[in-house]
Chains A and B, each alone.
Chain A
Amino acid sequence: GQNIDQPTEMTATEGAIVQINCTYQTSGFNGLFWYQQHAGEAPTFLSYNVLDGLEEKGRFSSFLSRSKGYSYLLLKELQMKDSASYLCAVRGDQGGKLIFGQGTELSVKP
């Protein structure tokens, strides 16, 4: 089966760092994606990992361990506008479809 788990919600303070974890069990693996989704809007791409290790992109970094079926998204210097849902998605095979987790609702407070 296909299963992607991430915490339902998290709260953090403006200026701080937050780490959102994602674990997955899928029948295949061809990359893990993180998307940001504001309420009522489309998901927007944040990061992609296919090899183990850390990918850094400005205030956002994403880590992958394929042997552990684990990824995290790290957000630094949090801003109020970072309040959103963060979606972990796995591309299970080369066909391209994305399998999404439930999403983590992040609230950034002053």
Chain B
Amino acid sequence: EPEVTQTPSHQVTQMGQEVILRCVPISNHLYFYWYRQILGQKVEFLVSFYNNEISEKSEIFDDQFSVERPDGSNFTLKIRSTKLEDSAMYFCASTEERIGPGFNEQFFGPGTRLTVL
């Protein structure tokens, strides 16, 4: 069964360093998302991406964040200068169909646990 994959599973970094989190969405999917979950808190939307551009972003997704689809398979989230409060689990998700009122399941990757020291 196709699945979303993410690397690394765990990333430890020093405050102020740049990190890049990588995701490989399911191959025929069109929409890609990043969410984060701070330990003990709810899953929060960061950004959605379609047709090589950002569709929507949340207030969390400030200038320190960027996303890219550098080739036909990878989807990356970059944090330019990490802060302690960026420590969280970051989930990538993808969905197959063009967005509309019908059902389309978002498939989540296993997540990258980011620890900022």
Contacts and interface: CB of A to CB of B under 8 A. Distances in A.
Chain A interface SS verdict (over half)? loop
A94 B45 contact: no
Nearest to A44: B108
A48 B105 contact: yes
In this complex, the interface size class of chain B, counting residues with CB under 8 Å from chain A, is 20 to 34
A81 interface: no
Interface residues of A, number: 24
A97 B105 CA distance: 11
Interface string A77-110: 0000000000101000011111111110000000
A97 B33 contact: yes
B101 A30 contact: yes
Contact of A43 (B44, B45, B58, B91): B91
A42 B109 contact: yes
Interface of B: 31, 33, 35, 41-45, 48, 55-56, 58, 89, 91, 95, 99-111, 113
8 contacts: A30-B101, A42-B108, A45-B105, A50-B102, A96-B31, A97-B56, A98-B35, A98-B106
